[in-house]
Structure 1
Amino acid sequence: MSDYDIGELYVVDNRRVSFILNVLLYIESKHSDWEWYFFHPLTGMNIADSTIMQHNKKMQVEFLNSPFIPFLLKKNIGGHETCKFLVASIDGFSENNLAKLITYCRQNTNDNINDVEIITCDYFPDDHDSIKRKVLSANETELNVSLGNFKPNFRNLANV
């Protein structure tokens, strides 16, 4: 590595690459009439940069090793721009994971976005509806939260 000018090295396994590709396929199929963008939250690394775009088509390299990837979806409805915040998690559906993701969505959405979709690889309404209701009532959020499954299988084919 000393022969090359490499500042950082990322090792990405098949699970992560499959996660990213499955999420992008999900967005392209389920939200085909929306423009989608990677959402770039403000962090200590970029907060001083006033020129930074909080969303664009380029994925930040840090998302390669992140447990979740946030997206901003935009759609023009009757001359009015509508936005949706979507977060995909590589971690399975659980009460704790859902609560964390709802908190993340609340912290990163502004007043014009109240539609949020959280997707995991193993969410099934029949199995997880009671957990969803419990977490949503405990978090008392003004967000309209929907849940989905980005990994196609026989249990969620009816929802595709």
Structure 2
Amino acid sequence: MGEKSKSTGEAGETVAKKFLEKLGWNNLLEGYDIKCLHSAEHRINQSKRRTHGLDFFASYESPLINHRLDCIPVSMKYRKEYPKKNPTAEFKDFIIDISGAKECLKYNNIANLKKTKSIKQKKFSGVILWLAYNEDQETDIIERITDFRSTETFDNNYGTVYLVDNKRANFILGIFDFLKSGYSDYQHEFFYPKTSYQLNQDITTVRSSGEILPLQFINSSVIPIKLIKEQKSDSEEILVLFSITRFDRDHFTRFVGMSYSLTVGWGNKIIFCFPDYHKLTHEHSISEVLHSFEDQKYANKIEVRKFSFGDFRKLED
């Protein structure tokens, strides 16, 4: 049992590292124990806590909010299966653990390793990768977590913690598989929509795309990608919007409106990707939505494609 547990843990660490690096979260710190500064409040059962174990720690300058460093402790929970009953209880244990680590991390030296004049604030947020290797690729544990209430210590405030389950992890991996198989000759970047935080910022410092997936997108239902191909006379730029949800006419209509606002001034082509798209089933709905769109020049740029969810288990090796 001990050897099996060890091999499962090692496989989980390998999956987590490869997954996070695909997000552009490079130069990860792995396997750190940091001193607990609130040993009584963060106690384990009845014993005072001495340290917090960090599976991974990532930090990067936010591409969405200028002058901010995002500091992210990551906890990997690699299991054979999800709980059959009451996953909320187990999730509560996970979130209490990472939130305590996050609280003490603020005063640890590893949170101060990146120092640049451009950084004026730090934001600490946690990520829990809760993956079950014997479950379906699209198993959604998040929808089963209900009635979660904070009743513990830490000033009754866990802060921001993102949960990534099978469905969210394989959604993101499916994006990379799609781009690799069909657009390997293009440069791939995550597209960064403008935010309210950038209204008063120097426009020359605002990035529209880059190699880092912002933390705020890690469990999003829509992820935008910018494809770029440099050519002799000009460059070709394509916006690809990936949806975790299945095709729906109303959802597609909102997609078209969203993409229109995102591609003002650029975009040779717009591609929408759905996991269940089937031309014969959906082509009439798509044609009717595009026919009703006022800007027909823009509507003619739109294509709809199918993509498949990935499989995080392939990252074990």
* Runs of 4+ in structure 1 over 6 Å off: none
> 1:38-73 CA deviation, whole Å, 9 max, x = no partner?
000001133333312110011111111211011111
Distance 1:49 1:17, change over 3 A: farther
Checking the alignment, whether the CA contact within 8 Å between 2:236 and 2:268 is kept in structure 1 is no
1:33 to 169, 185, 194: 185
> 1:110-160 CA deviation, whole Å, 9 max, x = no partner?
2332410000101110110001101111223332100001117xxxxxxxx
**SS in structure 2 at match of 1:70:** strand
What is the rounded CA distance, in whole Å, between the counterparts of 1:63 and 1:88 in structure 2?
Answer: 12
What is the rounded CA distance, in whole Å, between the counterparts of 1:92 and 1:79 in structure 2?
Answer: 38
Whichever residue aligns with residue 10 of structure 1, its letter is Y
Partner of 2:289: 135
The 5 Å alignment of 1:64-79 reads 64-79=218-233
2:196 to 44, 50, 58: 44
Q: Matched residue pairs, number?
A: 152
Is 1:23 aligned to residue 175 of structure 2?
Answer: yes
What is the rounded CA distance, in whole Å, between the counterparts of 1:89 and 1:78 in structure 2?
Answer: 33
**Which range is displaced more, 33-42 or 136-145?**
136-145
Can you give the 5+ residue segments of structure 1 that lack an aligned partner in the other structure? 153-160
Is 1:57 aligned to residue 208 of structure 2?
Answer: no
1:3 to 98, 104, 123: 104
Q: CA RMSD in A?
A: 1.6
What is the rounded CA distance, in whole Å, between the counterparts of 2:246 and 2:216 in structure 1?
Answer: 20
- The structure with the largest alpha-carbon Rg is 2
TM-score by structure 1 length? 0.88
Is 1:149 aligned to residue 306 of structure 2?
Answer: yes
Q: Relative contact order (C-alpha < 8 Å, sep 6+): which is higher? A: 1
What is the rounded CA distance, in whole Å, between the counterparts of 1:101 and 1:81 in structure 2?
Answer: 25
**SS in structure 1 at match of 2:218:** helix
What is the rounded CA distance, in whole Å, between the counterparts of 1:119 and 1:49 in structure 2?
Answer: 33
Whichever residue aligns with residue 129 of structure 1, its letter is E
**SS in structure 1 at match of 2:245:** coil
Checking the alignment, whether the CA contact within 8 Å between 1:99 and 1:139 is kept in structure 2 is no
Can you give the 5+ residue segments of structure 2 that lack an aligned partner in the other structure? 1-99, 107-123, 126-159, 310-317
TM-score by structure 2 length? 0.46
Partner of 1:158: none
> 1:17-54 CA deviation, whole Å, 9 max, x = no partner?
10000011101111111111100000113333331211
